[in-house]
C-alpha cells in the first residue's frame, strides 16, 4: 500500500512518519475570489491528472481509494482512465464538491452518514474509520497518565488539531480559575495564548495528545466540535456537548452533530449560544443516570469497524479486476 497527496499538506509529514511511501503532486483548492491564486489553482488542477497517471503507471495498483477533498479528484480521474477501480470516502453528512464531481468516476462511495439522494449499490454507509490505538484505554490508568483526579467528574474539551478559537477561549475564560477537573486539548495554534490563563492544577491543558486513546477514556463528559473526533467519542461511549463550527462548508458540522443528537448520545449547542454550556455541564455532571444513558446511545451509534468494511470492499474490487475469488 502506498499513498499519494500534496507536498504541502499534512500527509507529507504524517505518511512518512507512519512508515509508508508517499508520491506527491501539486494540487490546491480553488480560492473563492478571482485573482492569481485562482489561476494558479486552475493550472495545477489541469496538470494534476497527468502527474497522477505517471504515479499509477509506476505503482500499478489494483485499486485506488480517495480520501475526499480536492487531492483525491485527479487520482480518481487518472484511475478511471487507466481502468483501475476507484472508491471514495466522505467523512461528513454533506458530500463535498470534490466528491460530488468525482463520484460518477468511482465504483463505490463510502459514507459516514446517510445523505439524501446518495443511495443504491454505489453508496455504502459505514461510519468514519478511526485509529485502533484510540480505543480500549482504561479510565483509571488514563487519568493517572494525564494527571487527572480519580475521585471527581472530569470534563474534556477537544479543540481539534488546528484549534477551535471561540470554543477554546470560552472554556479557558469559564473554567480557568474554578470548575470541574478538566482535560483541554486546545490544538497547536491556540495553546501558547491559552496557557497563561489556566491557574489551577486540575486543569490539564495540552496542545495535542500523543496517546489520544487516553484522552478519550478519561472524561465523564466531553465538549467538542463535530468533525472526525465525534466518531471516536461515539466508539468510547463518551457523552458529548457538540458545538459545530458555524462556517463549515455546507454546514456539515451541524449535520454531523444532529446525527448524534437524534440518537440520544449528544447535545448540540450552536456557537452563538455557548453561554448555555456552563449550566448544561453542571446539570449533566450531576446526573449520573443521564450520562449513563447518553453513553449507551453513543456506543449504539458507533461504527468501530468502518475501516474493516472499507478494506474488505476494496479487496473485492481489486479481486474482481484480477478475476480472482476473495
Q: How confident is the chain (326 residues) per 10-residue block, as mean pLDDT?
A: 89 90 86 75 87 96 91 94 96 91 95 93 95 92 96 92 80 94 92 90 92 95 94 97 91 95 97 95 97 98 96 94 62
CA distance 39 to 35: 7
The pLDDT value recorded for residue 151 is: 94
Q: In terms of domains, do 216 and 287 share one?
A: yes
**Residue 304: strand pairing partners:** none
CB of 56 closer than 8 Å to CB of 46: no
Domains of the chain: total: 2
Q: Are residues 271 and 148 in the same domain?
A: yes
137-163 as b/e: b if 16+ CB within 10 A: bebeebbeebebeeeebbbbbbbbeeb
Report the candidate in 139, 89, 138, 136 with the shortest Cα–Cα distance to residue 109: 89
- Stated pTM of the model: 0.89
pLDDT of residue 290: 98
Q: Say how far apart CA 14 and CA 1 lie, in whole Å.
A: 15
DSSP 8-class letter at 31: P
Say which CATH number the domain at 31 has. Answer: 3.40.50.2000
Q: What grid cell was written down for 232? A: 471516536
Same domain, 294 and 311: no
Residues 33 and 117 in one domain: yes
Say whether both 148 and 276 belong to one domain: yes
Q: Which domain holds residue 174?
A: 134-301
Rounded (10°) CA dihedral 119, 72, 256, 129: 90
Rama region for 299: left / alpha / beta (φ>0; ψ in -120 to 50; rest):
alpha
Q: What's the pLDDT at 240? A: 98
Amino acid at each position: 500500500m502506498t499513498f499519494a497527496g500534496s507536498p504541502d499538506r499534512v500527509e507529507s509529514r504524517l505518511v512518512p512518519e507512519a512508515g509508508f511511501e508517499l508520491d506527491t503532486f501539486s494540487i490546491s483548492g480553488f480560492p473563492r475570489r478571482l485573482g492569481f491564486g485562482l489561476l494558479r489553482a486552475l493550472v495545477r488542477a489541469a496538470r494534476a491528472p497527468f502527474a497522477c497517471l505517471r504515479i499509477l503507471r509506476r505503482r500499478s495498483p489494483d485499486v485506488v481509494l480517495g480520501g475526499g477533498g480536492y487531492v483525491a479528484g485527479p487520482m480518481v480521474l487518472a484511475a478511471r482512465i487507466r481502468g483501475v477501480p476507484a472508491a471514495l470516502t466522505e467523512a461528513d453528512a454533506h458530500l463535498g464538491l470534490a466528491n460530488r464531481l468525482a463520484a460518477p468516476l468511482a465504483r463505490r462511495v463510502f459514507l459516514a452518514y446517510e445523505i439524501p439522494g446518495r443511495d443504491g449499490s454505489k453508496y455504502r454507509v459505514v461510519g468514519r474509520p478511526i485509529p485502533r490505538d484510540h480505543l480500549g484505554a482504561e479510565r483509571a490508568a488514563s487519568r493517572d497518565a494525564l494527571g487527572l483526579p480519580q475521585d471527581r467528574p472530569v470534563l474534556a474539551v477537544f479543540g481539534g488539531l488546528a484549534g477551535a478559537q471561540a470554543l477554546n477561549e470560552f472554556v479557558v475564560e469559564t473554567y480557568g480559575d474554578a470548575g470541574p477537573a478538566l482535560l483541554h486539548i486546545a490544538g497547536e495554534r491556540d495553546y501558547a495564548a491559552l496557557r497563561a490563563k489556566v491557574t489551577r492544577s486540575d486543569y490539564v491543558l495540552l496542545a495535542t495528545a500523543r496517546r489520544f486513546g487516553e484522552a478519550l477514556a478519561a472524561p465523564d463528559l466531553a465538549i467538542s466540535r463535530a468533525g472526525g473526533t465525534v466518531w471516536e467519542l461515539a466508539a468510547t461511549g463518551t457523552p458529548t456537548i457538540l458545538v459545530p463550527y458555524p462556517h463549515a462548508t455546507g454546514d456539515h458540522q451541524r449535520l454531523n452533530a444532529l446525527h448524534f443528537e437524534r440518537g440520544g448520545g449528544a447535545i448540540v449547542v450552536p456557537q452563538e449560544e455557548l453561554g448555555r454550556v456552563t449550566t448544561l455541564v453542571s446539570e449533566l455532571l450531576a446526573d449520573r443516570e443521564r450520562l449513563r444513558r447518553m453513553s449507551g446511545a453513543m456506543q449504539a451509534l458507533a461504527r468501530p469497524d468502518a475501516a474493516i468494511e472499507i478494506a474488505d470492499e476494496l479487496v473485492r474490487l481489486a479481486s474482481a479486476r484480477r478475476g480472482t475469488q476473495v
